[in-house]
Amino acid sequence: MKNLIKLEELGILVVSIFFLYKLNIHLSWWLYIILFFSPDIGMIGYLINTKVGAYTYNFFHHKAIASTLLILGVVLPNDYLLFAGLLMFAHSSFDRILGYGLKYSDDFKHTNLGFM
């Protein structure tokens, strides 16, 4: 089952990157890489404690937030909101392929995908 989930996440990652490429936002290649990993800023919450860390990490990796940004980007015709939503989808899927799911508040390694 885990391989099926990873395959599904790979599909989301590929589609997200395709649509990121199609957007009319021109950035340097190195800036795309930095922005791709920017949702990991949510790990800073772990400096406080595991409960805050899980909350901040999950906020920056939750696909409902990415969906909201995408919907707002379509409704408000805003390429930057579309970019942010697609970037969150791509990054979240990338993390889930690697086994980093949404976090429980007891331990960083305890995710919705099981223990890492």
17 falls within a domain: yes
pLDDT of 113: 76
Q: Distance between CA 31 and CA 84 in Å, rounded?
A: 13
pLDDT at 108: 84
Rounded to an integer, what distance in angstroms lies between the CA atom of residue 41 and that of residue 63?
16
Structural domain tally of the chain?
1
Q: For residue 19, is it within any domain?
A: yes
57-89 per-position pLDDT tens digit: 999 999 999 999 999 999 999 999 999 999 999
Enclosing domain of residue 64: 2-110
Please indicate, yes or no, if residue 116 is contained in any of the structural domains. Answer: no
> Is residue 90 a part of any domain in this protein?
yes
Residue 77 maps to a domain: yes
Judge whether 115 lies within some domain.
no
**What pLDDT, on the 0 to 100 scale, is given for residue 45?**
96
Residue 116 has pLDDT above 80, yes or no: no
pLDDT tens figures, 42-64: 999 999 999 999 999 999 999 99
Q: What is the mean pLDDT of residues 10-39?
A: 93
- 2-19 average pLDDT score: 94
The answer as to whether 68 is a domain residue is: yes
- DSSP string for 24-88: S----HHHHHHHHTGGGGGGGGGGT-HHHHHHHHHHHH-HHHHHHHHHHHHHTT-HHHHHHHHHH
Flag whether 12 is in a domain. yes
Q: Give the chain's mean pLDDT.
A: 93
